[in-house]
Structure 1
Amino acid sequence: MKKVLLWMYKNSIQKPLFFLIFCVGLSSCGIWHKVKQFVGLEKSEYIQNYSFREINSIIDRLKTFTGVPYKTGGIDENGMDCSGLLYTSYKLEGFEIPRLSKDQSNFGLPVSIDQITIGDWIFFKTNGSTIINHAGIVTKNKGGFDITFIHSSTSKGVREDNLTNKFWNKSFVKVIRPFKN
């Protein structure tokens, strides 16, 4: 490839044409994305810290708690709050994460709405709160705000909801991709 490019450059009458062909060739490979990221023309991809197997295992664990009632400070089948749900599920899978939603919300890198994937953590300020007071984990993303997440609702316990729901959409603050401990 290198020899072909060198030959094309030396034998090219029109250097701009070579440059155009070279750029088109680069755009079809990963190097071009790295160059654009380096010069700031493109945002870098978000790194997924957990493997797909780990994420699926964590989500399967979260779903086993479906129907468990809400209990402030709770971390077991007798009752759990939203951050307790995440904390317990990760702990049972062998991972240590912060216990409180306000701390969990800083335990990762921010993710833009178009980059959200299964396993990302989603945070809310509910009922007029001025601080993050609710957390969940993304279980499905169909694009845009059509995002399903599992959490522990104060009124209905552990369940899945969708960000298109007016209450959750209005309370939405941010999504992060959690660090792996």
Structure 2
Amino acid sequence: MKKIVFIIIIILSFSGCKSSKRAKNKKKASTEIINRKIISENANTVENSINDKIEPSKSKAENIIEYAKQFEGVRYKWGGTTKSGMDCSGLVYESFRAYDVILPRISRDMAKRGDKISLKDVSTGDLLFFNTGNRRNSINHVGLIINIRDNNIEFIHATTNNGVITSWLNEDYWLKAFTEARRIL
């Protein structure tokens, strides 16, 4: 008799755990819906405040460049897209995405977008693509043109050693690694 009572108590305790889990899941689902609504409302507020910060006198390219410059000094992190770490394609991807221009996440895929242009025709906001000789014989690095001065092109990009920096295309290393330029905007 004691064994039967003991078995019934164990069965009830297991079924009690199962029903309390369902109750927790239902409660979580309802708070998740509420949280989604709050996040959606906050996103609209954030979007409006971002749109308020866009100066109408600035071009989209100038706004993208300004956005990218805020990451200068951020350390390199493979696959990174935030101020805690950034890689070259992450920098370009996030800078364009901030202004509703969606690009592929990988530099060699970015190089398939837009129009290929010659160096003499580049302008600020255009992209430079490089083959730095790592692993594959294909494009593996990208930079965003931020300035053109005296036939020299300044671009912002993320390097493994120095993180997000600006460089000049006339530097020997970058000139040798240069593959092509593309206009996205």
Task: Please tell me whether the aligned partners of residues 125 and 173 of structure 1 are also in contact (alpha carbons under 8 angstroms).
Answer: yes
Q: Is 1:108 matched up with 2:114?
A: yes
Alignment of 1:121-140 (within 5 A): 121-128=127-134, 129-140=136-147
Pairwise CA RMSD: 1.5
| CA–CA separation in structure 2 for the residues paired with 1:143 and 1:118 | 14
Task: Please tell me whether the aligned partners of residues 135 and 151 of structure 1 are also in contact (alpha carbons under 8 angstroms).
Answer: yes
Unaligned runs of 5+ in 2: 1-56
Percent same amino acid among aligned pairs? Answer: 37
TM-score by length of 1: 0.67
CA displacement, residues 66-119 of structure 1 (integer Å, 9 cap, x when unaligned): 011111111111111100001111112222111110110111111111101111
The count of residues paired between Structure 1 and Structure 2 equals: 128
> For residue 90 of structure 1, what is the aligned residue in structure 2?
96
Task: Please tell me whether the aligned partners of residues 72 and 80 of structure 1 are also in contact (alpha carbons under 8 angstroms).
Answer: yes
CA displacement, residues 120-178 of structure 1 (integer Å, 9 cap, x when unaligned): 1000000354110000111111254x110000111101110001111001100000001
> For residue 168 of structure 1, what is the aligned residue in structure 2?
174
| CA–CA separation in structure 2 for the residues paired with 1:102 and 1:112 | 18
Q: Which of 55, 61, 65 is matched with 1:55 structurally?
A: 61
- Give the residue type in structure 1 aligned to 2:85: G
- Give the residue type in structure 1 aligned to 2:88: C
> For residue 157 of structure 1, what is the aligned residue in structure 2?
163
> For residue 82 of structure 2, what is the aligned residue in structure 1?
76
Do the aligned partners of residues 113 and 91 (structure 1) sit closer, same or farther apart at CA in structure 2, a change above 3 Å counting? same
| CA–CA separation in structure 2 for the residues paired with 1:95 and 1:174 | 20
Bigger radius of gyration, 1 or 2? 2
Residue 155 of structure 2 aligns to a residue whose secondary structure is strand
TM-score by length of 2: 0.66
> For residue 35 of structure 1, what is the aligned residue in structure 2?
none
The list of structure 1 runs, each at least 4 consecutive aligned residues, that deviate by more than 6 angstroms after superposition, is none
| CA–CA separation in structure 2 for the residues paired with 1:137 and 1:85 | 9
Residue 59 of structure 2 aligns to a residue whose secondary structure is helix
| CA–CA separation in structure 2 for the residues paired with 1:117 and 1:91 | 19
Do the aligned partners of residues 176 and 162 (structure 1) sit closer, same or farther apart at CA in structure 2, a change above 3 Å counting? same
Q: Which of 80, 96, 99 is matched with 2:105 structurally?
A: 99
Task: Please tell me whether the aligned partners of residues 114 and 143 of structure 1 are also in contact (alpha carbons under 8 angstroms).
Answer: no
